Amino acid sequence: MPYRYAIEVIYSDEDEGFIAVVPELPGCSAFGETEEEALREVKVAVSLRLEAAIEEGRRIPEPVGRERLRDILSGTGAACGPGA
C-alpha cells in the first residue's frame, strides 16, 4: 500500500538551498540547491526509510492527513501532549 506523506520545503539562508522535511517521519529530510531537487531527494529518503523499516520488521507510521498534520504541528491536535 503506497503511503502519501506531507512534505514541507523551506529555503535555508544559512545553507543557501532548500530543505525538504517529512514531519510524520522524524529525522527524514533532504537538501537541494533547488526546491525540485530537495523534493526529489526527500522522496528517495522516504523510500529508503520505509524499505529499511519493512526489512527490520518495524512499524511504518501511517500518514495522518494534511488537516490532522496541521493540527499536530500547531499544537492544537489531540495527539499532542502527555499520553498522546
pLDDT at 3: 74
Amino acid at 6: A
Q: Domain count of the chain?
A: 1
Residue 26 inside a domain? The answer is yes
Residue 35 inside a domain? The answer is yes
Residue 30 sits in which domain range? Answer: 8-74
Q: pTM (2 decimals)?
A: 0.70
For cell 500500500, name the residue: 1
Residue 52 inside a domain? The answer is yes
Per mean pLDDT, which range of 34-38, 56-60, 78-82 is the poorest? Answer: 78-82
Q: Enumerate long-range contacts of 24-27, CB under 8 Å, 24 or more apart.
A: 24/61, 24/63, 24/64, 24/69, 25/49, 25/61
Amino acid at 5: Y
